[in-house]
Amino acid sequence: MTMTWNLRVLEVPDGASSYYEIREVYYNEHGKPWGHSKATLQAESKEALRTYLTWALEAIDNPTFQDCDLVERDANDPPIQ
């Protein structure tokens, strides 16, 4: 099974306010989000980093994602790396 993922902006509640992180969000075969990575930014090369940052900029234009948007993980979903 091929893992489907994209970058999303995650809103993280912090007391009376929130902060935002860009994370990889993973989707099940039904297109429902079931998990996400920690907030990190690393790449194998400068070109890979440039590509990742392009995706990150695209993520800012997508709807904000919250942890409560996750669905139960399916047994067939591969592990998050």
Residue 42 has pLDDT above 70, yes or no: no
Q: Amino acid identity, residue 11?
A: E
81 within a domain of the structure (yes/no): no
Residue 36: what pLDDT? 92
Tell me how crowded residue 24 is: count the other CB atoms within 10 A of its CB: 20
Show the tokens assigned to 20: 């935002």
Q: Amino acid identity, residue 12?
A: V
**Quick one: pLDDT band at residue 9, thresholds 50, 70, 90?**
confident
80 within a domain of the structure (yes/no): no
Write out the residue range of the structural domain in which residue 49 sits: 4-69
Give per-residue pLDDT as tens, 10-21. 888 889 988 888
Asked if residues 10 and 66 have their Cβ atoms less than 8 Å apart, the reply is yes
* pLDDT over 70 percentage in the chain: 90
57 within a domain of the structure (yes/no): yes
Q: How far is residue 56's CA from residue 17's CA, in Å, rounded to a whole number?
A: 23
**Quick one: pLDDT band at residue 27, thresholds 50, 70, 90?**
very high
Residue 48 has pLDDT above 70, yes or no: yes
CA atoms in the 13 A half-sphere facing the CB of 78: 9
> How many folded domains does the chain comprise?
1
76 within a domain of the structure (yes/no): no
Asked if residues 43 and 52 have their Cβ atoms less than 8 Å apart, the reply is yes
